[in-house]
Amino acid sequence: MTLYSVRTCASALALGATLLASQALAKSDITIAMQLEPPHLDPTSAAAQAIDSVVYTNIFEGLTRFMGDGSVVPGLAEGWEISDDGTVYTFTLRDGVTFHDGSTMDAEDVKFSLDRATAEDSANAQKALFAGIESVEVVDPLTVKITLSEPNGNFLFNLAWGDAVIVAPESIDDIKTNPVGTGAYTFGDWVQGDSITLNRNPNYWGEQPALETATFKFISDPTAAFSAMMAEDVDVFDNFPAPENLPQFEADPRFQVLVGSTEGETILSTNNKQAPFDDIRVRQALAHAIDRQAIIDGAMFGYGTPIGTHFAPHNPAYVDLTENSAYDPEKAKAMLAEAGFADGFETTLHLPPPSYARRGGEIIAAQLAEVGIKAEIINVEWAQWLESVFKGKEFGLTIVSHTEPMDIGIYARPEYYFQYDSTDFQALMDTLNSTTDPDERTRLMGEAQRLIADDYVNGYLFQLAKLGVAKAGVQGLWENAPTAAIDLSAISWSE
């Protein structure tokens, strides 16, 4: 009997000790929800943001990388030298970096990655990033020399994109389903339609991150997102799809809400080649018919910053041009009459699934109706949108958020889906790309912003806010989204 009670006491003590120990140790796993599931896991061959959210800096790293504040810092390159004429970049790679399969990351891999991106048949979604690369030379295993055809002040920034990460020739064939990179996390498991799991990489070259495993869970329905968060099934929602629910999270001490900025210029994209939008007066009328604040309040419940051009307001080179297209329905009507559409006209408004587009579209359709433009709303899924609007260019108007950083360059591509073809703008972009002086670049970027605002290429609505929701104990989340990324190594639990 005595023996028995002593034993129970001992085991109770042991149990208590275990409990204490586990409480003292911070949680080492996390579940992060995102709205969209990536189509595959190769960031170098698709534009899907969801791929970068999972793999950027976690699995794959580039020569340089973005930090949460948008700055560009060394990644796999320890440092670099730029020749005086700005055309030759000599990168020194970090020593002792290995891919998850154990092979060494060296200059050959860098050459392979960049050659693959610049190749004629490259599937890279952002080929423009690499357009100026003339040659990539392996000097020694830890030194790479990249020669540009002309100076490019953006080159280090370009290399930080998820599309420019370093991949290995040995594992390239299976990259879409089994990505092998150099990052702090290795690919674990992918349950299609549900989640992706990443595990900490014990052989990581840098500091070991706090979290051992991370699960990315895909929840596309806003109602399900709200329930999952409220039931604490997920720890973080990267970008919460229903802004109307944020006040409830803010009022709840269990959660924290992180409202930041993204690189997403949300615009009323206009088919510049389709009549009547080929007439600048019609596009200007469109711009004056739109009340941005009503859209931000009605569709985003107040989250978002009005923009007057295709540029992020938090960028130092941003010029506030909202007055250029101020809400003025009378002026819009007058401009339409001048263009020969006194009785208005009919067009289509294609709306992809996010609430900024669906709800914003309803508001815009009502605002356009005020000036006589009848916009027929067509709700489409993303796949349909990519097929008919983005590739097929069969649309009048559409609403979409352009989330790539510093993407004003898309206006220099006449074949891009909104089909703006201006030789002035294309020349301006060429000048900008070959300018390295920061002040001059700022001036040129301002000029570019003014040019597209004065040409009323698209209706400029607002800068999309990043609406993160997380449990109160989660630290280190990026408040802003300078690129699509969930930087796991920065995240930890507070106790």
Does 455 sit near other proteins (CB under 8 A)?
Answer: no
Size of the site for other proteins (CB under 8 A): 23
Q: CB burial class (10 A; 0-12, 13-18, 19+) of residue 349?
A: buried
Segment interacting with other proteins (CB under 8 A) among 94-102, 127-135, 362-370, 475-483: 362-370
By C-beta, is 16 or 247 nearer to other proteins?
247
C-alpha 451/C-alpha 335 separation (Å) is 19
CB of 323 to other proteins, least distance (A): 21
C-beta of residue 131 within 8 angstroms of C-beta of residue 157 = no
Q: Which of 67, 365, 410, 490 binds other proteins (CB under 8 A)?
A: 365
Interhelix angle 280-289/329-338, nearest 10 degrees? 160
Q: Name the CA dihedral angle for 437, 305, 56, 233, rounded to a multiple of 10 degrees.
A: 160
By C-beta, is 212 or 297 nearer to other proteins?
297
C-alpha 469/C-alpha 248 separation (Å) is 11
Which has the closest alpha carbon to 452: 287, 207, 238? 287
C-alpha 191/C-alpha 195 separation (Å) is 5
Does 244 sit near other proteins (CB under 8 A)?
Answer: yes
By C-beta, is 307 or 363 nearer to other proteins?
363
39: preceding bond cis by omega (within 30 degrees): no
Does 126 sit near other proteins (CB under 8 A)?
Answer: no
By C-beta, is 203 or 223 nearer to other proteins?
223
CB of 298 to other proteins, least distance (A): 4
Does 228 sit near other proteins (CB under 8 A)?
Answer: no
Does 490 sit near other proteins (CB under 8 A)?
Answer: no
Segment interacting with other proteins (CB under 8 A) among 200-208, 366-374, 389-397, 474-482: 366-374
CB of 379 to other proteins, least distance (A): 6
Does 222 sit near other proteins (CB under 8 A)?
Answer: yes
Please list every residue from 368 through 397 that binds other proteins, using CB under 8 A: 369, 376-379
Does 362 sit near other proteins (CB under 8 A)?
Answer: yes
Does 348 sit near other proteins (CB under 8 A)?
Answer: no
188, 201, 427, 448, 456 from 430: Cα distances, Å: 43, 42, 5, 11, 21
Tokens linked to 137 = 């030379």
Q: Which of 298, 313, 329, 476 binds other proteins (CB under 8 A)?
A: 298
C-beta of residue 198 within 8 angstroms of C-beta of residue 188 = yes
Neighbours of 31 (CB within 10 A): 19
CB of 248 to other proteins, least distance (A): 6
Segment interacting with other proteins (CB under 8 A) among 2-10, 59-67, 340-348, 355-363: 355-363
Does 366 sit near other proteins (CB under 8 A)?
Answer: yes
The number of residues in the chain equals 495
By C-beta, is 57 or 347 nearer to other proteins?
347
Distance of CA 477 to the CA centre of its chain: 15
151 secondary structure, DSSP code: -
C-beta of residue 48 within 8 angstroms of C-beta of residue 162 = no
61, 105, 111, 175 from 181: Cα distances, Å: 7, 9, 15, 9
Element (H, E) at 230: helix 222-230
Q: Which of 200, 288, 359, 466 binds other proteins (CB under 8 A)?
A: 359
CB of 14 to other proteins, least distance (A): 45
Does 363 sit near other proteins (CB under 8 A)?
Answer: yes
Q: Which of 128, 294, 334, 337 binds other proteins (CB under 8 A)?
A: 294
Interhelix angle 423-433/438-454, nearest 10 degrees? 160
Which has the closest alpha carbon to 164: 318, 55, 281? 55
C-beta of residue 488 within 8 angstroms of C-beta of residue 185 = yes
By C-beta, is 243 or 482 nearer to other proteins?
243
Please list every residue from 248 through 267 that binds other proteins, using CB under 8 A: 248
Does 223 sit near other proteins (CB under 8 A)?
Answer: yes
Segment interacting with other proteins (CB under 8 A) among 27-35, 239-247, 261-269, 475-483: 239-247
Does 297 sit near other proteins (CB under 8 A)?
Answer: yes
Segment interacting with other proteins (CB under 8 A) among 28-36, 196-204, 365-373, 459-467: 365-373
By C-beta, is 178 or 293 nearer to other proteins?
293
C-beta of residue 215 within 8 angstroms of C-beta of residue 37 = no
Which has the closest alpha carbon to 242: 193, 184, 301? 301
Does 116 sit near other proteins (CB under 8 A)?
Answer: no
CB of 126 to other proteins, least distance (A): 32
Residues in touch with other proteins (CB under 8 A): 222-223, 226, 242, 244-245, 247-248, 294, 297-298, 359, 361-363, 365-367, 369, 376-379
